Chain A
Amino acid sequence: MQEIYDEIRSDFRYDHELNGCLNCGICTATCPSAQFYDYSPREIVQLLWTANVEQIYDAMQEKIWACAQCMTCAARCPFKNSPGGLVMIMREVAIKHGMQSAKDVLRPFGRVMLKLITTGNQLSPDMIQPDHFPDWGPNIQKVEGDLKTLRKAIPVKTLQTVETAWEVSLKTSIEMYTIWEMTGVMNSLETMDENLFDVIEDFIDEKRDDYEDWLEEQEDDD
Chain B
Amino acid sequence: MSNQIPGDENTGGIAGHGSFFQDANLSAEEATRATDWVRKHVDRRTIDLGERMDDIREHMWELEKEGEIIVHRITDEHEPINVKTLFGWDKKVPTKQLWHHKSCGQCGNIPGYPASLMWFMNKFNFEPGKDYLDETDQTSCTAWNYHGSGIGNVESLAAVFLRNFHQAYVSGKQHGHELGHFFPLVHCGTSFGNYKEIRKYLVESAELREKVKKILGKLGRLVDGKLVIPEEIIHYSEWVHVMRNRIASELQTIDVSNIRVTMHAACHYYKMVHEDAIYDPTVLGGNRTAVGSSVAQALGSQLIDYSTWYDCCGFGFRHIISEREFTRSFTMDRKIRVAKEEAQADVMLGIDTGCITTMDKNQWIGRAHEQNFSVPIMADVQFAALACGADPFKIVQLQWHASPCEELVEKMGISWTEAKKNFEAYLKEVEAGNIEYLYNPELALGGRA
Contacts and interface: CB of A to CB of B under 8 A. Distances in A.
B42 to A, nearest CB: 5
Interface stretch (B64-72, B88-96, B213-221, B227-235): B213-221
Nearest to B146: A88
Given A69-B316, A149-B430, A178-B218, A166 B136 contact: yes
B405 to A, nearest CB: 8
Contacts of A185: 151-153, 156
B344 to A, nearest CB: 23
Contacts of B163: 175, 179
Contacts of B21: 23
A70 interface: yes
A154 B115 contact: yes
B271 A71 contact: yes
A152 B150 contact: no
Nearest to B38: A24
B306 interface: no
A155 B142 contact: no
A157 B314 contact: no
B61 interface: no
A172 B136 contact: yes
B190 to A, nearest CB: 9
Interface string B296-324: 00000000000000111011111101101
A165 B105 contact: yes
Given A33-B326, A112-B145, A178 B219 contact: yes
Interface in B268-308: 268, 270-272, 274
Contact of B136 (A91, A139, A143, A169): A169
A75 B316 contact: no
A46 B398 CA distance: 46
Interface in A137-190: 137, 139-143, 145, 149-160, 164-169, 171-173, 175-176, 178-180, 182-185, 188-189
Interface residues of A, number: 93
B102 A120 contact: no
Contact of B137 (A19, A32, A171): A171
B401 interface: yes
A159 B322 contact: no
Interface string B8-22: 000000000110110
A1 interface: no
B381 interface: no
A13 to B, nearest CB: 7
Contacts of A173: 139
B208 interface: yes
B38 A13 contact: no
Q: Which 7 A-B pairs have the closest CB atoms?
A: A137-B364, A91-B150, A165-B108, A68-B316, A157-B441, A108-B322, A70-B312
24 contacts: A13-B154, A19-B52, A24-B38, A36-B329, A36-B330, A46-B17, A68-B315, A69-B148, A74-B271, A80-B52, A91-B150, A116-B142, A122-B144, A122-B145, A123-B104, A124-B108, A125-B109, A137-B363, A141-B402, A143-B427, A149-B430, A158-B107, A169-B136, A185-B151
Given A155-B438, A157-B441, 13 more contacts: A12-B154, A92-B150, A108-B321, A113-B149, A116-B142, A141-B402, A142-B406, A153-B426, A156-B118, A158-B102, A158-B444, A173-B139, A179-B159
Interface of A: 12-13, 16, 19, 22-24, 26, 30, 32-33, 35-37, 46, 50, 52, 65, 68-72, 74-76, 78, 80, 88, 91-92, 94-95, 102, 105-106, 108-109, 111-113, 116, 120-125, 127-128, 133, 135-137, 139-143, 145, 149-160, 164-169, 171-173, 175-176, 178-180, 182-185, 188-189, 192
